[in-house]
Amino acid sequence: MQARSRDQILREKRRFWTAHIQAWQRSGYSLAAYGKHQNLVYHRLIYWKTKFKKVPTRPISFVPVPLQPDPPDSPLTLSLQNDRFKIEIGADFSDTLLNRLIATLESL
């Protein structure tokens, strides 16, 4: 006899519990009364009822989103001493030169 795969077992469980949840919904009984009448464990009914609620009814689809081109590198403006000095820093700045410039301007 061939052993069942994990996927086959899960599909069988899903079919079993789907049938019971649908039968319970049509029965008019409370979940506890239905479970007792069918000799089912109440907390398993709750688990599968909750699990089936989480399953999306429609397939998930993706919506294309147009990408915006990267903005051109705009310079960063650094203000020193209450806007007395303003330095525009481009993408290709030298941090050593910037440190020397700031130290010089702050000493004025």
In the prediction, which pLDDT does 39 show? 95
Asked whether 58 and 40 are in contact (CB, 8 A), the reply is no
Start-end of H helices in 2-107: 6-27, 31-37, 42-53, 95-107
Predicted TM-score (pTM) above 0.85: no
Mean of pLDDT over the chain = 83
Q: Where are the domains of the chain?
A: 7-53, 76-107
Asked whether 37 and 47 are in contact (CB, 8 A), the reply is no
In the prediction, which pLDDT does 1 show? 55
- 25-69 pLDDT, tens digit per residue, is 999 999 999 999 999 999 999 999 888 877 666 777 788 888 877
In the prediction, which pLDDT does 71 show? 66
